[in-house]
Amino acid sequence: MTSNSLRDADIAYTLHPYTNAVAHEQSGPMVAMRGKGVRVYDDAGKDYIEGMAGLWCTSLGWGEDRLVDAATRQMKELAYYHSFNHKATEPGIRLAETLVQMAPVPMSKAFFCNSGSEANDTAIKMIWYYHNAIGKPEKKKIIARLRGYHGVTVAAASLTGLPLNQKGFDLPIERILHTSCPHHYRYGEAGETEEDFASRMAADLEALIEREGPDTIAAFFAEPVMGAGGVIVPPKTYFEKIQPILKKHDILFVADEVICGFGRTGKMFGTETFGLQPDIMTMAKALSSAYLPISAVLINETVYQGIRSGSDALGAFGHGYTYSAHPVAAAVANETLAIYEERDMLGHVNSVSPRMQERLRALADHPLVGEARGIGLIGAVELVADKATKENFDPARKVGPSVAAKAQNNGVILRAMAGDIIAFSPPLVISTAEIDEMFDRFGAALDTQAEAMGL
């Protein structure tokens, strides 16, 4: 098909996620045709630095032959088998063993799904099942955070604390609660230190627990670094103050590692970076470098024992997916984890991330930027109308999307999020030279936007 016919066919037949359908009918898609390293190329041959690693996920970049070969070998050997009713495959067994053994806190079992949304949805079901099994049927409410992101299934989107994921969908469902967003720049009070702000966030959480009744609260979900909500790095002492409250009230802690997992923050897991002690961990995205869909839920021994007894009493753990532990996806994930170790990807991330953070934070001086923030190879700039007051732009002006569009025209793909926040999450294999090129292209777009606004 020609470029024009591809675009016409897309407009005619595809309903796109996270897209304004009316606007799409006018603009059509950017059609990605191939990728190599940190770059993708459109149907006209133009190259783009993929500053978001796709959707925070293509950690090893494009064109990694070892992952292609791993998938090919497994497809020839055993293209599919399931994991229901005592069935298993070698890749799935190996992957479960590796993940449990590499977990930064003691875990007991791995359960496999196909996406981060499914992993978090599964965690919710496990939490409810566990509390029924241990004789606490009233302990079912789950707390997430405003501006947190945990997926788009009915239950996971209810956890997600972003209006776009709930308006129009009749969400959230019952038993899902939200506590304060720990973004010091946006919600800190005048003169309030990060530590004092963290204390207030912890107090907000405990007040919510007390209002609802501790005996009704089952679990607390948190991303180590909040991703789609604006790349919000936790304020100093935040998790140190949050976790004792959860322990005090016997509330399970779920660490959503879907974005942070496998090196993004400079440690293998964000759990390590911020000293977390979760009972459950969810992960996806970089688990397979996004070459095939796969996700996992890790549970500790306490949660496993509850599910174990429940499954015996009821006859089976009545949950699973056709493609749970799909052997081809599991084989690719195993190879991805092997590459991380063999190539010392953590060492690489820690060698290049200082340059990314340096270039990112230098943007704080730009007239459009209120805050530049990040850690490791993840970051964001928040665009504001007034740097002194932190006043947001009128959303109708679409300043963030305009900057992202200009950046794409300049050959770098980034993500504009609510609040005129521009996110960066490049493939972990990016070099310092490519980091500089990415920020040069973005900086030019930011300058063009400022000039158009008379700044």
pLDDT digits over 100-158, tens only?
999 999 999 999 999 999 999 999 999 999 999 999 999 999 999 999 999 999 999 99
Alpha-carbon distance of 291 to 68, in angstroms, equals 8
Strands (E) across 44-117 are located at: 47-50, 109-113
364 Cβ contact partners less than 8 Å away, ≥ 6 residues apart: 371, 372, 381
Q: Tell me which CATH code domain 68-342 carries.
A: 3.40.640.10
**Considering only CA atoms, which of 286, 282, 307, 284 is closest in space to residue 297?**
282
For residues 336 and 156, give the distance between their C-alpha atoms in angstroms, rounded to a whole number: 26
Strands (E), 269-383: 280-283, 295-299, 369-375, 378-383
- Beta strand 412-413 with 47-50 is parallel
CB-neighbour burial class of residue 86 (10 A; exposed 0-12, middle 13-18, buried 19+): exposed
Q: What is the pLDDT of residues 241-281, one digit of tens each?
A: 999 999 999 999 999 999 999 999 999 999 999 999 999 99
Instruction: Give CA–CA dist 304/61, Å, rounded.
Output: 35
Query: 206 pLDDT exceeds 90?
Result: yes
CB 59 within 8 A of CB 299: no
Give pLDDT, residue 2. Answer: 67
Is a pLDDT exceeding 90 seen at residue 1? Answer: no
**Cβ-based burial of 326 (10 A; exposed 0-12, middle 13-18, buried ≥19):** buried
79-106 tens-digit pLDDT: 999 999 999 999 999 999 999 999 999 9
**Separation between Cα atoms, residue 210 and residue 250, nearest integer Å:** 13
pLDDT at 4: 78
- At residue 251, what is the residue type? I
Residue pLDDT, tens place only, 341-363: 999 999 999 999 999 999 999 99
28-64 confidence digits (pLDDT tens): 999 999 999 999 999 999 999 999 999 999 999 999 9
Q: For residue 252, what are its two tokens?
A: 């399970």
Q: Is the pLDDT of residue 439 over 70?
A: yes
Tell me, what amino acid is at 268? M
C-alpha neighbours within 13 Å on the C-beta side of residue 260:
29
Average pLDDT over residues 74-82: 98
Rounded distance, CA 159 to CA 151, Å? 8
Across the chain, what does the average pLDDT equal?
A: 97
Domain locations in the chain?
31-63+345-452, 68-342
Class of domain 31-63+345-452: alpha beta
The residue type found at 444 is: A
Q: What are the phi and psi torsion angles at 110 (to 5°)?
A: -115, 135
Q: Which residues contact 90 (CB under 8 A, 6 or more apart)?
A: 327
Contact 453, 80 (CB under 8 A): no
Residue 455 has pLDDT above 90, yes or no: no
Report if pTM > 0.85.
yes
Task: For residue range 385-422, list pLDDT tens digits in order.
Answer: 999 999 999 999 999 999 999 999 999 999 999 999 99
- Stated length of the chain: 455
Confidence at residue 313, expressed as pLDDT on a 0 to 100 scale: 97
- pLDDT tens column, 159-202: 999 999 999 999 999 999 999 999 999 999 999 999 999 999 99
